[in-house]
Amino acid sequence: MLAAICTGYGGPGVVHLGEVETPVPKDKEVLIRIHATTVSSGDCRIRGANFPTGFGLMARLIFGLSRPRQPILGTECSGVIEAIGSGVARFRPGDAVIAFGGARFRCHAQYRTMREDGTLTAKPAGLGFEDAAAIAFGGTTALHFLRGPGRLKQGERLLVNGASGCVGVAALQLAKHFGAHATAVCSGAKSELVRSLGADAVIDYGSADFATSGERWDVIIDTVGNAPFARTRNALNENGRLLLVASGLPDLLKAPFQSMMSGRKVAGGPAPERAEDLALLAKLAESGAVRPVVDSTYPLARIADAHARVETGRKTGSVVVTLEG
């Protein structure tokens, strides 16, 4: 099969197309013929060895010292079940699905195997493959933080820092689904988009600093990595929650102490991969409560360009890569 292979750490040019063996589904596994996938910030971090502060050595031990241990990146995809292993009961060949491979990657290829009980769900008939591929990475991350450590409730005030990225656009829409008031922080050029996704207020980070505005929020979710507790403490209500989606090791190590001493909660770390979360996101997308946002679309042959687009830091939502179905 054809796959995008990352042969070493470096810029987008280290990713090239190559032929690799097509996987065969084992017991309780399905084989997905991939129609669409994405290049996420996570893919770019691994490819470029651009790990958060303090995680460099640890990440290389996990992901590979001199080059990615898993050369086929890609965390999420949509496609059709091509074949199934013995004992599979939930899916049949021909079923359209959405899959989230997470840190096991392997979605930048024509085929990928997944365990039947993995983070895998049926694709709604009314949701295209490109849109379906764009809901897992950002959606499951936002859902975990808002519903888990964020405990976002109806009527509460949420601020989304980095509201136009793939996690941010999901967080805005989930906040409205939960009945919260949502403030979006993004560039002025993205204000119309985030308002269309449900933002009740927009702060242009180029002309105002939310942290010194005098306003307060019940929950702040930082998807950028530039809003640590030291900056945001005075922007949080009493018993407020700061959610660090993108943060370095020093901020994560300080979080328990900051939570204990301040009366507020600071939480971070990776989001778990849960099939029930992906299934909920698929239903919300089908109903229109959550709208996938696709920045741009590239064929697999131009996946290096997709990496370059993500690295600009200016994408809106997700960068999608298509494969022949």
pLDDT in tens, 263-316: 999 999 889 999 999 999 999 999 999 999 999 999 999 999 999 999 999 999
Domain 2-134+292-322 has CATH 3.30.110.30: no
- Would you say residue 151 has pLDDT above 90? yes
In this prediction, residue 249 carries a pLDDT of: 86
Quote the pLDDT of residue 305: 98
Can you give the pTM of this predicted structure?
0.94
pLDDT(59) > 80: no
Q: Is the pLDDT of residue 71 over 60?
A: yes
Nearest CA among 65, 95, 71, 74 for reference residue 83: 95
Report the share of the chain in percent with pLDDT over 90. Answer: 87
What is the model's pLDDT at position 176? 97
For 95-105, write each residue's pLDDT tens digit: 999 999 998 99
The whole-number average pLDDT for the span 106-112 is 98
pLDDT single digits (tens) 19-52: 999 999 999 999 999 999 999 999 999 999 888 8
Question: Is residue 187 packed enough to be buried (19+ CB in 10 Å), middle (13-18) or exposed (0-12)?
Answer: middle
Classify each residue of 278-314 as buried b or exposed e, where b means 16 or more C-beta atoms within 10 Å of its C-beta: bebbbebbeeeebbbbbbbbbebeebbbbbbbbbeee
C-alpha span between 147 and 144 (Å, rounded)? 6
pLDDT digits (tens, 9 = 90+) for 213-256: 999 999 999 999 999 999 999 999 999 999 999 988 888 889 99
Interatomic CA distance for residues 300 and 321, integer angstroms: 6
Parse the chain into domains and list their residue ranges. 2-134+292-322, 139-268
CATH of 139-268, one of 3.20.20.70, 3.40.50.720, 3.40.50.150, 3.90.1150.10: 3.40.50.720
